Amino acid sequence: MEASTGALGLAQPKEGSALSLTGHDASTTLDRDPVNGRYKSKHTDSRIARVKRVAERLAQLRATYMLAGPSDDATLSIVAHLFVDAEAARSRISRVRCINAATRLLRTLKRREAPAAPTNLKAFGL
């Protein structure tokens, strides 16, 4: 699947090849299927990075909210995905839509109570 050069010196694809905009054969990269040129399942760097971002956000949410059961954990997982989608969104509309959906779901969960400040000054060493 190599590209030939056309009259203007531009890369011309052979039949059945998948050329990228830079002119190289895109179907031969590691994360693409050599037969059809499509991305392989679960093999892209961007997907791996997104999974890491979701896991980090989910850990933050679990530290902030109390979980009453597996349904609350599933809700937090959805909220983490929505927050990551909002961070990566290009349009303002989709960003606001993701944030509003996440905050609507978070209203159904209880926050962990912050430890109460001691009223005794001896606890501070004073």
What would the pLDDT profile of 33-80 be if each residue is shown by its tens digit? Answer: 778 777 677 666 778 888 999 999 999 999 999 998 999 999 999 999
Number of domains composing the chain? 2
Q: Is residue 50 part of a domain?
A: yes
Q: Is residue 113 part of a domain?
A: no
Task: Determine the pLDDT at residue 46.
Answer: 78
What would the pLDDT profile of 93-121 be if each residue is shown by its tens digit? Answer: 999 999 999 999 999 998 888 776 667 76
Shared domain check, 59 and 23? no
Shared domain check, 78 and 28? no
Residue 109's Cβ-count burial label (10 Å; 0-12, 13-18, 19+) is middle
**Which structural domain range is residue 19 located in?**
10-43
Give this prediction's pTM. Answer: 0.60
Shared domain check, 34 and 49? no
